[in-house]
Amino acid sequence: MIINHPTLGPRDSAEFTYLGDAALLRRPNPKSETALDDFYSYQYLRDNPAGEHRELWYHEQGDRSWLVVTRNTVTHDITKVEFARDVKQAMIEKAIIKRAKS
């Protein structure tokens, strides 16, 4: 598989380490009343879909960046590659706007 790195261009997937579902970026709130259940699902349960999957890859033998790769688990086609920090930043901004509105 070739991963099209946002700044370094097409790189062999062998340069990367795989972590798993990008849902891991969404860490549960430890202060919530359901924290115990939330952390159990976060740590152990996975959707594991056949088809499109957003997942975390670490460019260990490159620029050491974390990426969110959108890849099809049936065909291995990669349709989108983003920096994880940008994805996380967007998540945080969205949460702040939501909180301001409510």
Q: Tell me which residue of 46, 42, 54 sits closest to 82, measured CA to CA.
A: 54
Residue 71 has a CB neighbour count (10 Å cut-off) of 21
Name the amino acid, one letter, at 38. D
Nearer to other proteins, 5 or 71 (CB): 71
Q: Does residue 43 touch other proteins according to CB under 8 A?
A: yes
Q: What would the two tokens of residue 42 be?
A: 């976060």
Nearer to other proteins, 24 or 87 (CB): 24
Q: Does residue 7 touch other proteins according to CB under 8 A?
A: no
Residues near other proteins, by CB under 8 A: 1, 12-14, 18-21, 40-41, 43-50, 53, 55, 71, 73-76
